[in-house]
Amino acid sequence: MTVLKDVSGGVALWRRIVDAIRLDIIGGKLAEGDRLPTEAALAERFSANRHTVRRALAVLADEGVVGAEQGRGTFVRSARRLSYPIGKRTRFSEGLAGQARMLTTQHLGDRLENANATVAAALGIRAGSKVVRLDALSSADGKPISRATTWLAYRRFPDVAQRVIGGQRMTAVFASYGINDYSRASTRISARHADVEETQLLGLAPGAILLVSEAVDVDSDGVPISYALSRFPAERMELVV
């Protein structure tokens, strides 16, 4: 069992306890329905006061991860994380089908931009070229699971925004441009803390961790067609290669 020492490094003890308990849950040490150790025991384990443990449990209870019952104890409510598959032929909605009852993608906005160095390199175009930027938020059963920004070359996909707003999936949008097949050329995965905007949009607690994936899709000739920067809440999603 993990024990936290009194190394305060800018992260409050109650938050480190939140993270530690969440880790026990998603790591399988505590299964759905299990009873957590008593507050006194947790206080002992984390060398913290019971007040501090209670504050941590309150946060988890607020998220619906655990629930306290007077006189009985605190129980694990939901331990599930969604698995997002990554591979040559990754399709967002297909990959998650079966893991959630309802999958929705909300269009947040679109605009014309000049490609910065990163986007230009990914799409194989000149820096400063016109690109269409699409912003979207995806949810599974009402819970946000991904905040994605996608860039496409304006030259090849001038009115992609209209077609996306029409409610079509990217697969269908690409098909409408005559691209009947495409595949994943590369995926870079990193992790960082969520910023304020992401925290709000994804419905996370401040300090939450995001899995960040930068993906380049190419058409059947190997020409890059899109560069997508997706941010997944690490507490709700994992990526499977």
Partner DNA sequence: TCGCATTTGTGCGTATGTATT
Partner DNA sequence: AAATACATACGCACAAATGCG
Positions 58 through 97 that interact with DNA (CB under 7 A): 68-74
* Interface with a second copy (CB under 8 A), residue from 12, 97, 108, 127: 12
Tell me the sheet residues that pair with 231: 147, 212
143 is a contact residue toward a second copy (CB under 8 A): no
Is residue 2 close enough to count as binding DNA by CB under 7 A?
A: no
The answer to whether residues 217 and 180 touch, using CB atoms and an 8 Å cutoff, is: no
- Which of 74, 79, 92 shows the shortest CA–CA distance to 29? 79
**Cβ(184)–Cβ(88) under 8 Å?**
yes
CA distance 160 to 133: 9
Binding mask 102-131 for a second copy (x = CB under 8 A): ---------------xx-------------
CB of 48 or CB of 216, closer to DNA = 48
Return the sign of the alpha-carbon dihedral for residues 27, 29, 35, 39.
Answer: negative
State which of positions 25-54 bind DNA (CB under 7 A).
Answer: 36, 38-40, 47-52, 54
Binder among 178, 196, 221, 222 for a second copy (CB under 8 A): 196
Residues 211 to 240 in contact with a second copy, rule: CB under 8 A:
211, 234, 238-240
**Distance in angstroms (rounded) separating the CA atoms of residues 118 and 27:** 35
CB nearer a second copy, residue 102 or residue 240: 240
CB 36 within 8 A of CB 74: yes
Rounded CA separation 163/166 (Å): 5
Which helix (DSSP H) or strand (DSSP E) does residue 96 occupy? helix 92-96
133 contacts a second copy (rule: CB under 8 A):
no
Cα Rg for the chain, rounded, in angstroms? 21
**Which positions from 36 through 55 interact with a second copy, judged by CB under 8 A?**
none
Q: Does the protein bind DNA through residue 24 (CB under 7 A)?
A: no
CA–CA separation, 49 vs 144, rounded Å?
A: 34
Interface contacts to a second copy, rule CB under 8 A: 2-5, 7-12, 14-16, 18-20, 22-23, 26-28, 81, 83, 86, 117-118, 184, 186-193, 195-197, 199, 205-207, 209-211, 234, 238-241
Interface contacts to DNA, rule CB under 7 A: 6, 8-10, 12-15, 36, 38-40, 47-52, 54-55, 57, 68-74
